[in-house]
Structure formats: structure tokens, C-alpha cells
Amino acid sequence: MMFRLQHSGKTASHVLAVPFVAVGLSFGCGGGPDAETTAGLQEHRGEAQGTTYSIKYVAEADARLDDAVFENVLEMVDREVNLWRPDSRINAINDWGRSDSLFGFVDSTQIIGPLWALSEELHGLTRGAFDPTVKPLVELWGFGLSEMGNVDGNAVDSVMAFVGMVPDRFDMNEEEENGHYKATWVRKGDGRAALDFNAVAQGYTVDLLMEALRERGMENAMVELGGEVSCRGNNAFGEPWRIAVDRPVEGSDQADRSFELVVEVRDRAICTSGSYRKFHEVDGRKISHTIDPGTGWPAANGLLSATVMAPTAAYADALATAFMVIGADQTRGFLSLYPELQLDVLLMSDDGEGGYDVWTSPGFDAVSQRP
């Protein structure tokens, strides 16, 4: 039996900002909703992966795509990696409680395999800050399907014993026969090991939706799912798509949000991860939902949100989460180490005085403005 991992290419999201997408509606691009309609902008909206989505593309009414184009993609990803769906593939993997034998399946949709391959790549780049085997820790801290109990150092250490993206703890490989894919095999060092692709799957879904548009000839489009955004070409007015980024205001919601910056995005993705909306409060202390896979404890580095622009939404999504783990200083170091990744970043950090500091990379600053 030969094992080889194919690298082919990503549901509730960790992204907590950027859900407002402005397409020439309110930032001086001219026109309102009626103008967009006459300019030939098509839109599809709905609910998926525990959140909402919006897909817009420039086309006349007779070229409008069927909703099923997008619904099929969303259902396919949902079937594979939705932790809240009992019959999902990822739950079957996580429920496999044996370490003395392999769990096998045929990855017919090629969702799980590429997600694992991408996660391995990102795990290496971030030195373990991105790690999909973090699920048992997410459950321990009450940010998954379980309620938070009494968590102490002993409880964290006991879970850390089987968390980690290393072969003796959790491994996934693809078997080939005569050069063709045959099956996928999962090996666990402990039956309690489990996967959580939530920090990358939503961005990966956005990439798949954008690819579906590209395959059908839509060169000017915007896809948004749960705040994860990818933009291709221009909006209906021939200008870059304009995406607004939330201020990190605790307790704000869709009705009372305010925006920090408006960003022009063309042929890139933009995703945000934040700690200011999703947290537990214990004895007056806020516990972030961002868990550091290296320590097993919630990240506590003062970073309130990280917004990443990258060539793909999968990368932007995953790295936004990783940057929340490593903090602002190490994120700036990461950017200097890997210029080839073509990242631009906005970081908002607690200033210790009830406010926040804003830092933007030069590329991010060049395409953003105050609303």
C-alpha cells in the first residue's frame, strides 16, 4: 500500500468582521440600487454554514445563473466538513475512536484531502499556529459543541497529549494504485483526536464559489460568505469592489456596527478574524475563542482583529486566525519573512486604555480609506 498526499488546492467561521460589502452603494462610486440593476449586476443571497452569503457578478438578466450552481457547492462542502451536521464526513472521522487501525474513505468530492494538504502547508508556515487538530481544545474551552466546564492546567495538559498536526497524533494520506487515486486513510495516535476545519473551510468555500463563477465566464464578481470575501475584476461601474472592515467594538452587531476602513479589492480575497465578539467571561476576565495550539490556552496577546488580503480566501481565512494566535509583533515578522505570499494586513490591537491601535502594511494602506 503506497501513501501519497495529493496537494490540490478550503461551517461556522472565525471571521468576525468584513461582512458589509459595498458595491457602489455608499462610498462615492455613483448610483444606488437602481443604478446597479441597470448596470447589469446580478445577486444571489441565502443562508449556509450557519451564516449568510451574497454573490454578485456583472451580467445582464438573460445571463443570470441558476441558484443551484451555488447551492450545490455549499451543500458539497457542508456534507464534508460541517461539524454541526451529524452525517458529515468530518464527524465520521472524528467519531473513529481507534488508534490500532486506520479509518478509510473515498474522497470523491476532493474537499477533505485538499483541506488537509493546505492545512499541512499553513501549519508549517506558521510554526504550528494554524492547526486543525485543535478541536478537542475548542471543546474543552466551550467554543464548540460542548459547554465550558472547569478548565485548569491539568485539563489542558491532558488534551494537549493528543492535539497536534504530527504523524504520531493525527495523519492523513491518500493511497494510489497505478497512478490513480484510490482511497484516503486516517491514522490517529489517540482515538480522541479530532479535526476542525472551521478556520479555513469557509474561505475555501468562497474560493470554490468564485471558481464556479469563473468557469461560467463571469470575470467581474464578488463572493461573500460569513464575512469572508473574494473579489474578481470590477464592480458594475468598472471600479474595484469596495469592502468595509468593522471597528473592533465589543457587543456591536449588524444593526449598530461602525467601519474602520473601506478597502478597494480586485482579484484578491479579504478575510478577518477577531476576538472582540466571541468570548467567555470568567471572574471578570475575557477568554478569547482563539485557542493557541502550542499552549492549549486562549490567545492573550492584545490583538483584537486581523484582516488579511491574499490571493485566495482560503489563505486569507486561515492566516487571519493564525495571526490572532501569534499576535501583532510576530505577524509583522511573518510578513517580512514571506513576501512571496503577497499578503497585506490590517491589525487592530488593544491599547490598554479602552481603545485600540491600528497598523496596516503598506499594500493595505495603499488601497484603503476612511469611510
CA–CA distance, 268 with 266 (Å, rounded to integer) = 5
CA angle 20, 320, 275 (to 5 degrees): 75
Instruction: Give the pLDDT confidence score for residue 141 in this predicted structure.
Output: 85
Q: Which among 300, 312, 311 has a CA at the least distance from the CA of 349?
A: 300
Is a pLDDT exceeding 80 seen at residue 254?
no
Question: Is-above-0.85 flag for pTM?
Answer: yes
Is a pLDDT exceeding 90 seen at residue 22?
no
> Could you tell me which residue, 229 or 280, shows the higher pLDDT?
229
What is the enclosing helix (H) or strand (E) of 14? none
> Could you tell me which residue, 256 or 25, shows the higher pLDDT?
256
Cα 59 to Cα 36, 39, 215, 230, 363: the distances in Å are 11, 8, 14, 18, 30
CA–CA distance, 212 with 342 (Å, rounded to integer) = 24
CA–CA distance, 234 with 252 (Å, rounded to integer) = 30
For a pLDDT cut of 90, what percent of the chain falls above it?
Answer: 74
Per-residue model confidence as pLDDT tens digits over 128-169: 999 999 999 999 988 866 666 678 899 999 999 999 999 999
Per-residue model confidence as pLDDT tens digits over 280-330: 455 455 666 889 999 999 988 999 999 999 999 999 999 999 999 999 999
DSSP of 226-270, one letter per residue? Answer: TTEEEEES--TTSS-EEEEEE---TT--TTT--EEEEEEESSEEE
Instruction: Give the pLDDT confidence score for residue 147 in this predicted structure.
Output: 62
Is a pLDDT exceeding 60 seen at residue 362?
yes
Window from 57-71, 135-149, 170-184, 291-305 with minimum mean pLDDT: 135-149
Q: Hey, what domains does the chain have and what are their CATH numbers?
A: 20-74+198-369 (3.10.520.10), 87-188 (1.10.3980.10)
